[in-house]
Amino acid sequence: MSKHRMHLSLPKASLASLSTSDFLWRPLGEPSSFHTKLSPRAEEMGAVPDENLELIRLAALTYLVDRTAPRPGRGWARELELVVPVFDPDRWAPIVDRVAATLAFLTGDVWEVSFVAKRSAARRKLQRDIEPAERVSLFSGGADSLCGLLASLNADVVPHLVSHWDWTIVGGAQDRVVGVINGIVEAHLTRDVIRIGRQRKQIGSNHTFPSEPTSRSRSLLFIALGLAAASVRGAELWVPENGFASLNLPLARERRGALSTRTTHPWLLDELQALVAAVGIQATIRNPFEQMTKGEMFRQIASDYGADDSAAVLSSTHSCARSGANYEGFNPGMHCGVCFGCLVRRAAFIASGVEDGTTYIEDSLRAKPRKRSTWLRNRREDVAAVEYRAKRPYEIADVLAASLPARVDPDDALALANRGAAELARVTIPS
């Protein structure tokens, strides 16, 4: 089991031997092991309560380790130990095993977690006016988070937005969507934009960090940041994602789930709600689209905002899980069109009747069959899984195996899953 610590300070003499297993997080102006403009006390977000700061540190360390510790071959699961600096370890002691189990559910790894008393530098006094809001909504630049924002605005609620990015393409997509929104709605939008992304080399020792491309734990960090903003404002937190993806039932028998992460799985959100309440965080976590498919969400937005504006703003969002995988002649931020995220996106546009203005690499290559065939050869896994599911509706046994909380009616979940699968079946990707 590999051990990983977060340090809030270190003697200068020890920096030269700092390994890539550990991460140093220091106040702004002092080098850290990762890129961020957020201090360990998160003064940039306001007067964040201690328990929220502790959750951010746990989530940040989990995410950094998740992106650094390479997964083994076929087994995938890693054995990882975290040492998290907190103000009050006793606050976390009663739930430490549940925290580890929650991380395991989220990432598929084996985790051990310990909390140690460690105070960071004193809180700095920053001149920041905290914008009041009754709701905080996560805003990723994706279509689901956009639907959450638009649904709030349609109900005359202007949420404060929280965005996380560690990659330029994601940050650019978020800014682009906000720009389009500002052109169709009159609302003063406020947003915390937070970057937390590992450096290429360790500070001090200059050792190169290993790199792991999967990032199943990113949602925990995103939610922790959202809860901090919500706690500062006494607001609820919206974590918008379509209910079909939240269920994350396998598309094919050999797959663990349709998605590589269980970002908003009902059990996970319920367990996170219980865990944060146990340490004193009072904000309510809610997925407003838990019972809707993505196509149903798009249809609702079109009803509220009209076909043209809905098409423009939904098409500006980013859904691709494979962006950044450079392919000659195409922008690295372009949608591939064949990953699960792209397939659900395409299905939602078709099902809702909203015009899809997205440019997909797969579409762009149809005029070049030989080149397209070569490109598609190693990218058909998700397409094949969707084709498999189109011929085999989900059964109640699939739902009962999904670790859903007791509050979720299995028949309702089954109906939702098959509505989502039916939307996907309308997407055709020629061989």
How confident is the model at residue 28, as a pLDDT? 87
Shared-domain flag, residues 163 and 277? yes
Half-sphere exposure of 269 (CA within 13 A, CB side): 24
Strongest mean pLDDT among 215-219, 231-235, 376-380: 231-235
- Let me know how long the chain is: 431
Amino acid letter, 404: L
Report yes or no on 342 lying in a domain. yes
pLDDT exceeds 80 at position 121: no
pLDDT exceeds 80 at position 256: no
Global pTM reads: 0.94
Cα–Cα distance measured from residue 282 to residue 274, given in angstroms and rounded to the nearest whole number: 10
pLDDT exceeds 90 at position 201: yes
Report yes or no on 52 lying in a domain. yes
Q: Which one-letter DSSP state was computed for residue 195? A: E
Q: Which one-letter DSSP state was computed for residue 176? A: H
How confident is the model at residue 258, as a pLDDT? 43
Shared-domain flag, residues 269 and 359? no
Supply the range of the domain harboring residue 227: 135-286
Q: Which of 242, 265, 237, 227 is nearest to 108 (CA)?
A: 265
- pLDDT tens-digit profile of 327-356? 667 887 899 999 999 999 999 999 999 999
- pLDDT tens-digit profile of 25-84? 999 889 999 999 999 999 999 999 999 999 999 999 999 999 999 988 766 789 999 999
- Of 270, 286, 302, the last residue of a domain is 286
pLDDT exceeds 90 at position 119: no
Cα–Cα distance measured from residue 154 to residue 149, given in angstroms and rounded to the nearest whole number: 9
| Beta bridge pairs of residue 7 | 24
What stretches of 155-239 show up as alpha helix (H) in DSSP?
168-182, 218-233
Cα–Cα distance measured from residue 314 to residue 123, given in angstroms and rounded to the nearest whole number: 40
Mean pLDDT across 21-27: 96
Shared-domain flag, residues 88 and 157? no
Shared-domain flag, residues 179 and 231? yes
Strongest mean pLDDT among 107-111, 112-116, 171-175: 112-116
pLDDT exceeds 80 at position 155: yes
Report yes or no on 32 lying in a domain. yes
Cα–Cα distance measured from residue 268 to residue 278, given in angstroms and rounded to the nearest whole number: 15
Could you tell me if 91 and 279 are in contact, meaning their C-beta atoms sit under 8 angstroms apart? yes
State how far Cα 363 lies from the chain centre.
27
Shared-domain flag, residues 345 and 221? no
**Token pair for 346:** 């395409």
Shared-domain flag, residues 191 and 63? no
Q: Which of 218, 135, 18, 374 is nearest to 6 (CA)?
A: 18
Report yes or no on 310 lying in a domain. no
Could you tell me if 57 and 50 are in contact, meaning their C-beta atoms sit under 8 angstroms apart? no
Mean pLDDT across 103-107: 95
Shared-domain flag, residues 232 and 189? yes
How confident is the model at residue 305, as a pLDDT? 96
Shared-domain flag, residues 333 and 416? yes
- Of 71, 88, 117, the last residue of a domain is 117
- Of 264, 286, 308, the last residue of a domain is 286
Q: Look over the chain and give the mean of its residue pLDDT values, rounded to a whole number.
A: 92
Cα–Cα distance measured from residue 250 to residue 392, given in angstroms and rounded to the nearest whole number: 12
Cα–Cα distance measured from residue 430 to residue 73, given in angstroms and rounded to the nearest whole number: 31
Shared-domain flag, residues 324 and 373? yes
Mean pLDDT across 234-247: 98
Report yes or no on 201 lying in a domain. yes
Amino acid letter, 194: I
Shared-domain flag, residues 155 and 87? no
Cα–Cα distance measured from residue 89 to residue 87, given in angstroms and rounded to the nearest whole number: 7
Among the residue ranges 196-200, 258-262, 344-348, 393-397, the one predicted with the least confidence is 258-262
Report yes or no on 292 lying in a domain. no
Confidence of residue 314 (pLDDT cuts 50, 70, 90): very high
Could you tell me if 148 and 135 are in contact, meaning their C-beta atoms sit under 8 angstroms apart? no
Report yes or no on 277 lying in a domain. yes
Among the residue ranges 49-53, 87-91, 152-156, 330-334, the one predicted with the least confidence is 330-334
Counted domains in the chain:
3
| Beta bridge pairs of residue 80 | 2, 111
Shared-domain flag, residues 101 and 223? no
Q: Are strands 34-36 and 190-198 parallel, antiparallel or unpaired?
A: antiparallel
Half-sphere exposure of 379 (CA within 13 A, CB side): 24
Kindly report the CATH number assigned to the domain that includes residue 161.
3.40.50.620
Q: Which of 68, 73, 79 is nearest to 23 (CA)?
A: 68
pLDDT cut 90: percent of the chain above it: 76
pLDDT exceeds 90 at position 280: yes
| Strand (E) or helix (H) holding 236 | strand 236-238
Shared-domain flag, residues 160 and 243? yes
Report yes or no on 313 lying in a domain. no
Could you tell me if 223 and 272 are in contact, meaning their C-beta atoms sit under 8 angstroms apart? yes
